[in-house]
Structure formats: structure tokens, C-alpha cells
Amino acid sequence: MNEVIDRRGFRIFPGYFDSESQIALVEDLREVLRQAPLVQPVTPRGQKMSVRMSAAGRFGWISDRKGYRYEERHPSRVPWPPIPDRVLALWGDVAGCPRDPECCLINWYGEGARMGLHQDRDEADFTCPVVSVSLGDEGLFRMGNVERGGKTESIWLRSGDVVVMGGAARLAHHGVDRIRFGSSSLLPNGGRINLTLRVVT
């Protein structure tokens, strides 16, 4: 497997999933989203986020007027569906972590959606990495530093690419500046799906 390591420790696996596996993954996710539909979260200050979210696993990450947190249930009160085996197999292959992921967050980016530079730091334990999967339209992924500010670099993530943020990169800032809507034919209506796997407790 081809692997690129950024100077901060971001590990990128271009084309980790071939097109057949991408189609199978999307099928797995359709089943998850049937049980736990995407919702458009609001920030604690009441601003709508541009991505839609759902999750699989013991926990889902939620943002609403009460704040950011992990919850064991979808806002509809149903428990999150299990993380698909195909996704667990990816974790086993690249995470190098003895624990299983407890959250598979599903972010859906429609036309114009983005995600501002942030750190993933709502977890109790930072020894395991965050593993991210890109599906569908290309997304411009910005990689920053652990400290706020400083130089950043951006790369286009394509459908099937995997990024591992561990070690020195576990708390590095990152975000998605924009997507190239309609650049992939994986999702019939366009858009980008990003999965992020994390150990939470």
C-alpha cells in the first residue's frame, strides 16, 4: 500500500479503497443512515453547520445549543448502529492501536459545504489515532499544526483515500476548505462522505 507521510505526521494512503470496495462501503453506510439519518447540526452559538452528520458505534459526536459532546444515541433516541465490519478492518490494518474504535462519525458534504480548521480533542485518550476515509467528491484537506496558527498545507483527498492522524499529528489542526462538487460518480447525487474513526473513552 502506497503511503505518504506529511512532515507533521499525517499519514496518507492514496487509493486505499478500490472502486469495488468504495461501492460496498457506501452500501454499508446506506444501512447505517437508514437507522440513524443524517442531521444538520448547529453550533453551540446556534449557527447551522454546512455538513450533515450521523454516526455508527457506541458513540456519536453531537453538536447543538447545549455544546459539543459524545452521545450514545442519535437525536431520535435510537442507539447508533454498529460500525460496519469493512470499516473495522481498515482500523485493524492502519491504526496500530490495541483498542477498537468507539465512534465512526459520518460527515456528508453537499455543494458548498466545508469544515473549519479544528482539533479532534473531545476524546479521553489521545494515544490512538483518528482514522479518516474519503468517499465521493474530492475535498481540499488542510493540515495545520498542534498550536493554533503557523503554516498549513492542503491536499486534495479523493474517493478511497485514507488519512491517519496519530502520534504528533493526533492533535494537529485540520479542516476541509471546499469540495469539488460532482467530481466523482460514486454517489449518484454528488457530494462527499468522510468517516472518522476514534477511540472516545
The site map against ligand SIN for 122-151 (x = CB under 6 A) is ----------x-x----x-x----------
Report the residue number, 48 or 77, with the smaller CB distance to ligand SIN. 48
Restricting to residues 179-198, name those near ligand SIN by CB under 6 A. Answer: 194, 196
The site map against ligand SIN for 88-107 (x = CB under 6 A) is -------------------x
Residue 132, contacted partner among ligand SIN, Fe ion, none, CB below 5-8 A by kind: ligand SIN
Sort 137 into a burial class: Cβ within 10 Å, 0-12 / 13-18 / 19+.
buried
Query: Which residue has the CB atom at the shortest distance from Fe ion?
Result: 120
Report the residue number, 134 or 159, with the smaller CB distance to ligand SIN. 134
Residue 57 contacts ligand SIN per CB under 6 A: no
Report the residue number, 102 or 120, with the smaller CB distance to Fe ion. 120
Whether the CB-CB separation of 23 and 186 falls below 8 Å is answered with yes
Residues that bind Fe ion (CB under 5 A): 120
Residues that bind ligand SIN (CB under 6 A): 107, 115, 132, 134, 139, 141, 174, 176, 194, 196
